[in-house]
Amino acid sequence: MVCMRIAEMNWMQVEEYLRRDDRAVMPLGSTEQHAYLSLATDAILAQRVAEEAAEPLGVPVFPVLSYGITPSFAAYPGSVSLSLGTYAALLREILDGLAGSGFRRILLVNGHGGNAPAGTVAAEFMAAHPKVQVRIHHWWNAPRTFAAVQRIDPVASHASWMENFPWNRVAGVTPPAEAKEPVDMDRLRGQDPAGVRELLGDGNYAGRYVRDDREMLEIWSDGVRETRAQIEAGWR
C-alpha cells in the first residue's frame, strides 16, 4: 500500500476509506530549540514515524500539529509555546473534527515530552464520546524504542545524539565532536526561560551530539515497528 497522507487525499477518498475502516493517526510535535538540530525536530520525527508505521496498513495520517507546550525554551529564538489551555482546546477541537468525519479509532503519535497533557485531553474526550477511542503513543520513549537507546548509549537526552536522525539535521551545520557534561537538573528545575538558557547553553542536556547512522536506524526501526503495533492492535 502507499502511505495515505491526508495532505495528498481529497474528501471523496476519505469518505471511501471510512466505508471500510475508521482508524486515523494524528502526529503531535513542537517547534523548539534542539541545539544544532532543526527547531522542528519533534514535528519532523513524529510525522515521519507515523507515516512509515501507517503505510503498510493503509491508515491515513493527518498533518502534524507542529506547536506544543514548551515554555521553558522561550529564551531560544524560534521556539514557540502554546499555553496549556490553548493546547488542550486546540487538540479537543481537532478530535471533534476527526470524530465528526467518522473516525472512531484515533492514535495520537506524540514526539514531544511537554505534550503529555494530551493524554488527559484524550481521556476527557472519550468520556464525552463513548463511541470514539483515542490513544496516545509517545514514540521516542516507548519500551522497545527506549531500550534500544539505552543499549546503545545510556547518556541520552534532549537535543543529544538520540534525536539526531538524517532527516532532522540542519544543512551545513556540524555539531561538536565531544560529549557534553550533564546539566544540573536540580538547578534547572524552577528556572525561568533566561535561566534555562544560561544553564543549558546550546540546548543539549547531556551526552554526545552524534552517533553512527547505523545505530540511529536501529532505533528508528524499533520506533516504527512499535508505532505500527499501536495502530494495529489494542483497540476495543
Which CATH number belongs to the domain containing residue 209 in this structure?
3.40.50.10310
User: Considering the domain boundaries, does residue 78 fall inside one?
Assistant: yes
- pLDDT band, residue 2 (cuts 50/70/90): low
Whether the CB-CB separation of 1 and 56 falls below 8 Å is answered with: yes
What phi, psi does 204 have (nearest 5°)?
A: -75, 135
Average of per-residue pLDDT values in the chain: 97
User: Considering the domain boundaries, does residue 133 fall inside one?
Assistant: yes
pLDDT of residue 234: 84
∠ CA 122-61-127, rounded to 5°:
15
Whether the CB-CB separation of 108 and 68 falls below 8 Å is answered with: no
- Residue 236 clears pLDDT 90, i.e. is over it: no
Can you tell me whether residue 151 is helix, strand or coil? helix
Whether the CB-CB separation of 129 and 69 falls below 8 Å is answered with: no
Q: Average pLDDT in the 52-74 region?
A: 98
User: What is the extent of the structural domain holding 111?
Assistant: 6-232
User: Considering the domain boundaries, does residue 153 fall inside one?
Assistant: yes
User: Considering the domain boundaries, does residue 1 fall inside one?
Assistant: no
Q: Would you give the DSSP letter of residue 159?
A: T
Q: Would you give the DSSP letter of residue 57?
A: G
Task: Quote the number of domains for the chain.
Answer: 1
Side chain identity at residue 118, one-letter code: A
pLDDT of residue 61: 98
Q: In this structure, what C-alpha cell is assigned to residue 15?
A: 469518505
User: Considering the domain boundaries, does residue 141 fall inside one?
Assistant: yes
- Residue 226 clears pLDDT 90, i.e. is over it: yes
Which whole-number Å values give the CA distances from 211 to 43, 77, 163, in the listed order? Answer: 21, 26, 10
User: Considering the domain boundaries, does residue 155 fall inside one?
Assistant: yes
Instruction: Give per-residue burial for 68-101: e unless 16+ CB within 10 Å, then b.
Output: bbbebbbbbeebebbeeeebbeebbebbeebbee
Angstrom distance (rounded) from CA 151 to CA 190:
31
User: Considering the domain boundaries, does residue 134 fall inside one?
Assistant: yes
User: Considering the domain boundaries, does residue 207 fall inside one?
Assistant: yes
